[in-house]
Amino acid sequence: MALSLKLTPLAAALAALASISAYAQTVPQRMETVTVTGKAAPLLDVDNADVGGFAAPLAKTPQSVTVLSSDLLDSMAAQSLSKVLKLDASLSDSYNTTGYIESVSVRGFLLDQSGNYSRNGLAISNYAPIALENQERIEVLKGVAGLQSGVSAPGGLINYVTKVPLKDAFTAVSVGGDGNGTVKVHLDANRVIGGLGLRLNVVDEHLDSHFDQASGSRQMLSLALATALGRDTSVSANFEYQRKSQPSVPGLGLLDSNGDGVGDALPSPINPRLNLNNQSWSLPFQVSATTAEIALNHRFSADWQGRFAANTQTSSINDRIAFPDGCGSVYPGLCDNGNVDVYDFRSEGERRSLRSWDARLDGKFQALGMQQAARLGLSGRSRRADLPALQAYNYVGTSNIFAPIALTPDPTLTVLNTNSRERALDAYASLVSDLGAGVQSFIGLRVSRLNRSSEQSDGSEAVSIEQTVSTPWAGLAWTPAAGTTLYASWGQGVELEAVPNKPALFANPGQVLPALKSEQTEIGIKWQAHARLLLTAAAFSIDKPYADDLPGTVADPLPLRVAGAKTARHRGFELTAGGRVDSALSLQASLMALDAVYTQAIDPALIGQRVTNVPRYKGALFADYKIAAVTGLSINALASFEGSKTVTTDGSVELPRAWQLDAGGSYQQRLAGHVTTWRLNVENVTNRSYWREAPTTDWGGIYLFPSTPRTVRVSATVEF
């Protein structure tokens, strides 16, 4: 396939680097005050993680934390967040598809797009594509994160740690592609100029999906700066811009096999390349996002240091799709013959912005005859969503999933949008105390003042809520022997919900609802088998309240959504192992067993039913092995499997259990004096077809997404 790529950003970056490189040869190449140390790749073991909120080694904190480092992502050729999620059994997809914003579920709970994500410890929105090329690591705290982030869903907290300037100058250029026609060029360059560190990452990518008619493009530019202002003070800043344009691929629905108006059967056979957003008038989903961040660190003494950081993030989205949903009187689901109603949906010019800041003081001191480590902080954030006054959501006809039909568009703007505002001011504190005999206590509290409001775009149905909530957390860790830690913890989380903006489905569309508290108890054990291998086991129980729907009345037949009328309890057990077994073998392995059921609901028939789209068990094993007989050669494989998942709330439809095998390898050599790394990766080696996930949206729609067919990826990276 002949591809024509416009690599304008990359060309400009290379030209700039050429001039910088010439100057950089005459300046010091070390940054003693802004240094990131590393170990020889593959770096699958990590000692600490910022996401936990305690300045303590992962092996000694009473938390479940997974860290996925950049070399692990490189080894498996991760191209999307969905691929990254395969590395840990507690993580899973939730409405993840080509050309759309990706979502994450942790321990069976969908993370909130605006409350469960951070970047270098600062709150961000997930309404933007994630540039994996600019990530040093991805940290995942599993379970309630009320102490760490305030308002957030109870599944966990994801912290993206971006690449920073290093002490040694280098330039690495990667060129790669896959069998579908995707081609990507990535530049990663590091320089030190007069004590100022610079790290530049540039990506230009032509996207070709395995789905029919789903081509697009993506560009990313990031710049990180770091320098010392004095012996005890340093400042860093980073900027990232990303643009992506690609048609989004909708999910399918269950077939109504018995004619009762509700889908009840999985479509068969599975066509992993089918894209029902394939009308001649289909427009791409487009997003451009900008993030800027600055951080100041100062050491007051040997025991006390402070940090102030702030960021701003904006995203602009054009959301357009020929959306298949329902079939006449069938909802959710499709007609038994595969017929599906199609709607012309357009919401152009959506603007979302988020600003956050955090000021904290960390220190160590003696009190009550014990060594104490404390953190005191204030943080704030403001978020707003400004959507276009009207959106289009117009029925344009009926197509068929087995034989798609050309339809006529109707872009008429008829449906009001809902704009929202949110502000939060948090005060938090934590204390780690050495109680003696190998015992440490961990306590913390965050108090959040919330202000949230929404109104329809014509100013009607304005709602405002103010609340003050507290989220305590406590843990106890005991080290009976070197390398072994037993722990127990308890904590609360708080989250906000809003009624979907669906006037045809709800009596109170778009309304914000009062905050709800979740609660978690966890016990576990961690064993540092040796310096570079950590094994953990954890058992947990999480109770999460949801909004639920009161039945409509004769006067108003639409249901009324109310806060806290439904509760789910997720109880599970996790096993993980990560690091290097020996000098040749590295691994990332995990196993989860999970029982997720509803314990309270307006509809009594729901009580005791399994939560949909959540497997009873899931496992993942990634291993990388260096071949001793051939210097520079390594091979790897990722095996993942999961149990069945219910699709419908009554449990009558399930996705069968599934497994997949990915494999790859890399070879590093020196060519013409430059270190060159060749990579070959094959996703879904056996080309298995199965239904990967079946999320239920907050408006009641059920969608099916298939597995990715066998995909071969190749790349070459040259270091200068």
CB 158 within 8 A of CB 144: no
What is the pLDDT averaged over residues 183-203?
A: 97
* 287 beta partners: 244, 317
Residue 24 clears pLDDT 90, i.e. is over it: no
CB 305 within 8 A of CB 298: yes
pLDDT for 41 equals 42
Residue 170 clears pLDDT 70, i.e. is over it: yes
Angle at 100 between CA 6 and CA 12, to 5 degrees: 25
Q: Write down the mean pLDDT value for the chain.
A: 91
The answer to whether residue 350 sits within a structural domain is yes
The answer to whether residue 1 sits within a structural domain is no
Give the lowest-confidence range in 82-91, 205-214, 396-405, 462-471: 462-471
The answer to whether residue 76 sits within a structural domain is yes
Cα end-to-end span (Å), the chain: 30
pLDDT for 165 equals 96
- Domain that includes residue 712, residue range: 8-719
pLDDT for 283 equals 97
Characterise 298 by phi-psi region: left (phi > 0), alpha (psi -120 to 50), beta (else).
beta
CB 135 within 8 A of CB 73: yes
Q: Residue 654: pLDDT band by 50, 70, 90 thresholds? A: very high
Q: Residue 682: pLDDT band by 50, 70, 90 thresholds? A: very high
User: How many angstroms separate the CA atoms of 18 and 15, rounded?
Assistant: 5
**DSSP reduced 3-state for 212:** coil
Residue 13 clears pLDDT 70, i.e. is over it: no
pLDDT for 456 equals 87
Q: Residue 220: pLDDT band by 50, 70, 90 thresholds? A: very high
pLDDT for 531 equals 85
- Return the DSSP state at 74: H
pLDDT higher at 243 or 461: 243
pLDDT for 44 equals 58
pLDDT for 28 equals 31
pLDDT for 282 equals 97
Angle at 693 between CA 687 and CA 694, to 5 degrees: 140
- Return the DSSP state at 166: -
Residue 403 clears pLDDT 60, i.e. is over it: yes
pLDDT for 46 equals 67
pLDDT for 431 equals 96
Provide the percentage of residues in the chain whose pLDDT is more than 70. Answer: 94
CB 703 within 8 A of CB 157: no
Q: Residue 495: pLDDT band by 50, 70, 90 thresholds? A: confident
pLDDT for 9 equals 47
What is the pLDDT averaged over residues 348-373?
A: 96
The answer to whether residue 2 sits within a structural domain is no
Q: Residue 35: pLDDT band by 50, 70, 90 thresholds? A: very low
Question: Around 295, how many Cα atoms within 13 Å sit in the side-chain half-sphere?
Answer: 18
DSSP assignment of 704-719: BEEPPPPEEEEEEEEE
What is the pLDDT averaged over residues 565-591?
A: 95
Residue 490 clears pLDDT 90, i.e. is over it: yes
Strands across the sheet containing 104-106? 91-93, 104-106, 109-110
- Return the DSSP state at 258: S
In total, how many domains does the chain have? 1
The answer to whether residue 322 sits within a structural domain is yes
Q: Give the CA dihedral 290, 312, 468, 154, nearest 10 degrees.
A: 40
pLDDT for 513 equals 84
pLDDT for 7 equals 44
Residue 436 clears pLDDT 80, i.e. is over it: yes
What is the pLDDT averaged over residues 455-475?
A: 89
CATH number of the domain enclosing 112: 2.40.170.20
pLDDT tens digits, 283-338: 999 999 999 999 999 999 999 999 999 999 999 999 999 999 999 999 999 999 99
Strands across the sheet containing 64-69? 64-69, 135-142, 156-162, 117-119, 122-123
Q: Residue 209: pLDDT band by 50, 70, 90 thresholds? A: very high
CB 413 within 8 A of CB 391: yes
Residue 420 clears pLDDT 60, i.e. is over it: yes
pLDDT for 532 equals 87
pLDDT higher at 135 or 36: 135
Q: Residue 114: pLDDT band by 50, 70, 90 thresholds? A: confident
What is the pLDDT averaged over residues 189-207?
A: 97
Copy the structure tokens of residue 455.
């109104």
pLDDT for 33 equals 38
What is the pLDDT averaged over residues 657-668?
A: 97
77 residue type, one letter: A
User: How many angstroms separate the CA atoms of 373 and 391, rounded?
Assistant: 52
Q: Residue 12: pLDDT band by 50, 70, 90 thresholds? A: very low
Q: Residue 134: pLDDT band by 50, 70, 90 thresholds? A: very high
pTM comes to: 0.92
The answer to whether residue 377 sits within a structural domain is yes
What is the pLDDT averaged over residues 55-84?
A: 91
The answer to whether residue 470 sits within a structural domain is yes
